[in-house]
Structure 1
């Protein structure tokens, strides 16, 4: 399994749907300048599975690497349909792993954030006491 592609896909999803919209107005202004159909696609693809499929296809096209090498060599009876079918199945697996990765990041993120807040509160109270 090619973990690098999956990590890149999770990072791309996190960047475009979890972080950039909150890093100032410039990104949201840029989105507002897009044609309405592209704005609708951006809103509909918030799901890491939906976006993950297209991110998976893009990452595969950019890197030439498969998530699972087995999809590169499908049985010969698929003929000319084998290559597009392999890309499609690879992107589906990529999307599933992207969604799983996003769920893991969120599951880890909340307890980590609460722990950080508790630590900061503790240190602030300790500083006041001294």
Structure 2
């Protein structure tokens, strides 16, 4: 299994939906001034699985990399449909990894933030004494 597509897809998802909107008003201004169909896509693709599927298809086209190497050699009876079927199946698997990665990072972030807040509160109480 090659997780490079999933890592790139997860990185792009975090950048576009979690980081860029907080880096100033310029990105939000661009999104607000997009044509309506593109704004709809931005809102709809905030789901890591949906975005992951489409970005995996794009990354397959750009890199010819597969998450599941077994899909590189599809059966001969599929003929010309073997490549599109392989890309779709691999993109579904890659999207699943992107979604699990996104959920995992969010699950780790909550206790980490809580622990940081508790540490800061403890330090501030020690400084007051």
TM category, shorter: over 0.9
Separation in 2 of the partners of 1:61 and 1:114?
Answer: 41
Report the secondary structure of 2:65's partner residue.
Answer: coil
Structure 1 partner of 2:110: 110
For residues 13 and 20 of structure 2, the distance between their equivalents in structure 1, rounded to whole angstroms, comes to 10
Tell me which residue corresponds to 1:126.
126
Mapped to 2, the partners of 1:127 and 1:42 lie a distance apart of: 46
Q: Number of aligned residue pairs: give it.
A: 129
**Counterpart mapping for 1:51-62 below 5 A:** 51-62=51-62
**TM-score under structure 2 length normalisation:** 0.95
Q: Deviations over 1:91-110 (max 9, x none)?
A: 11111111111010010010
Superposed counterparts of 1:1-40, under 5 Å: 1-40=1-40
Partner in structure 2 of residue 50 of structure 1: 50
CA-CA distance at 1:84 after TM superposition: 0.7
When the two chains are superposed, the root-mean-square deviation of aligned CA atoms in Å is 1.0
Q: Deviations over 1:54-87 (max 9, x none)?
A: 1111222222211111111111111000001111
**Match of 2:77?**
77
Displacement after TM superposition at 1:113 (Å): 0.7
Structure 1: gaps (5+ residues): none
Which structure 2 residue ranges, 5 or more long, are not aligned? none
